[in-house]
Amino acid sequence: MMRSKLAPYVELLKPITWFPPMWAYACGVVSSGLPHPERWILIPAGILLAGPLVCGTSQIVNDWFDRHVDALNEPHRPIPSGRVPGRRALYYGIGWTVLSLVVAALLGSWVLIAAAVGLALAWAYSAPPLRLKGNGWWGNAACGLCYEGLAWFTGAAVMTGALPDWKIILVAFLYSAGAHGIMTLNDFKSVEGDLKMGVRSLPAQLGVEKAGQLACIVMAVPQAIVILLLMAWDKPVHAGIITVSLLVQGALMVRLLRRPKDLAPWYNQTGITLYVLGMMVAAAAMPSLVAP
């Protein structure tokens, strides 16, 4: 009985969405070089913060402010189906936000700052008056920053107990910028609905073909910059691995652009996998580059 009551609340957290920020958090941990063994015990708390808490909060908030649309399109979801009745989902989102901030504060001031920014973006993404998700330029940027850059920053800050080195911040920012393109690919699945509802996703604004081209450029350019940075920082092996990955992604992009809407799920399984593996390669290059 208790499990059946809790199930819709777990469903609201959408555990399947936790992997990207948790992976980026792991990249941050690796990039830090794990310099303080006494802080290693904090790694699980950081994983909890990046995935179930901050990312989970964003999912609750999104479902609450989309409840009227979901009542028409996906009435089986926890809120429109009544399995999470009344305003409980709103209170759940507020409570989960507070809990996220408490855990972040326990992990350090820089972690708290990153979490606060991420949570603010999570609310701004879905809630009026900003509702960033209504425009693909802003909404995708917010998602990319939260899922990749801030999570990476958090992992490094947890391990160092301080502001991460600028090189770590720069590489994290570049990969979060590239994630803007990943978010654009995710919008292809709902382009018809976006057009009907007036949601200005990039496929709806630019058309499928141009949005696909933009997504590929946005994903490729930051990786190319990372390669150049690693070469300049005397990390040719890591740069070479990411170069090979990017070349393979380029070949996959050629196929993607023939039918972007149909092939976006296929590219998510292939090209995006290479993208996120490249993140870890870049992270592994960082420990010997950052200030002690």
Task: Give the up-direction half-sphere exposure of residue 210: CA atoms within 13 A in the CB hemisphere.
Answer: 7
Question: Cα separation of 120 and 33, whole Å?
Answer: 29
Digit-coded pLDDT (tens) for 154-197: 999 999 999 999 999 999 999 999 999 999 999 888 777 777 77
Which domains are assigned to the chain?
A: 7-163 (1.10.357.140), 165-292 (1.20.120)
Digit-coded pLDDT (tens) for 36-78: 889 999 999 999 999 999 999 999 999 999 898 888 778 899 9
Q: Taking residues 267-290, what's their average pLDDT? A: 96
- % of the chain beyond a pLDDT of 90: 86
Question: Cα separation of 9 and 91, whole Å?
Answer: 12
Give the length of the chain: 292
DSSP 83: S
Q: Which two tokens stand for residue 29?
A: 């941990």
Residue 1, pLDDT above cutoff 70: no
Contact criterion met (CB below 8 Å) for 51 and 97? no
The pLDDT confidence band at residue 277, using thresholds 50, 70 and 90, is very high
Digit-coded pLDDT (tens) for 259-269: 999 999 999 99
Residue 271, pLDDT above cutoff 90: yes
pLDDT of residue 190: 78
pLDDT of residue 73: 76
